[in-house]
Amino acid sequence: MSSEGAVRSVAIDGPAGAGKSTLARALADHLGLDRLDTGAMYRSVAWSALRRGVDLAHDDEVAALARGLTIEITAGAADTVTVDGVDATAAIRTPAVDACVSLVAANPAVRAELVARQRAWVAAHGGGVVEGRDIGTVVMPDAQLKVYLTASSDVRAGRRAAERGDDGVSEVAAALDRRDSLDSSRPVSPLPDPAAAPGVIVVDSTGKSADEVLKEVLSWL
Ligand code: DC
């Protein structure tokens, strides 16, 4: 594989709570690349639909909404997200959005719109570290480094609960499992299995620190 200095494009896929954002930050810092969290884009569409009272079952209306939205994600120590000029940084991470974002992500026309924007972002940034669910398969199939990051269900739920300051790990685990199975095994527009992308490195972060995961990934370069 390529040496570190030559790596310009990194795809990170995996389920919620696997540690994708932490790894994406560390890799972007280490390699000197820009970073894009594509989950925040699907969340922005879901939040906007809830806010405007658009029925999520109406695929065409949700897609039209997505096409018209201005979504600005500023990567930083804490990423900020604005949607049509309104700060949605915290609002896109609420349980209300968690509960409906899978439906938005299953809408093929929404995916087409957001994938086009993500590819445009990659072209404008000359590569980058991009995290999501279909990055190594659809958005950036030519990425020089593709990582599929996973972790046990308990670990993923524990991380998500800690992020939210929530004590109910078992409830979080159930909600995450539900969302992951909606995301990965839905009958409508199922995603290609990112763990099976050609050249993908599968990394299990269970029981590993962020630093250990970074070292493991870098050892493949
Ligand atoms: O990574 P996350 O939890 O912020 O993602 C939010 C939702 O968007 C989740 O249900 C999966 C979906 N998603 C997707 O379908 N494709 C992507 N590239 C990124 C996220």
CATH number, residue 71: 3.40.50.300
pLDDT at position 26 over 90: yes
Q: How confident is the model at residue 185 (pLDDT cuts 50, 70, 90)?
A: confident
pLDDT at 28: 97
Asked whether 98 lines ligand 1 (CB < 6 A), one says no
Q: Which residue has the tokens 């593709």?
A: 146
pLDDT single digits (tens) 48-92 = 999 999 999 999 999 999 999 999 999 988 899 999 999 999 999
Residues 6+ apart with CB under 8 A from 79: 37, 40, 73, 89
Q: How far is the CA of 4 from the centre of ligand 1 (A)?
A: 28
Asked whether 48 lines ligand 1 (CB < 6 A), one says no
Atom of ligand 1 nearest to the CA of 93: 4
Q: How confident is the model at residue 187 (pLDDT cuts 50, 70, 90)?
A: low
Could you tell me the sign of the dihedral formed by the alpha carbons of 14, 115, 111, 99, in that order? Answer: positive
Domain span at residue 82?
4-218
What is the percent of the chain where pLDDT is above 90? Answer: 72
Total domains in the chain come to 1
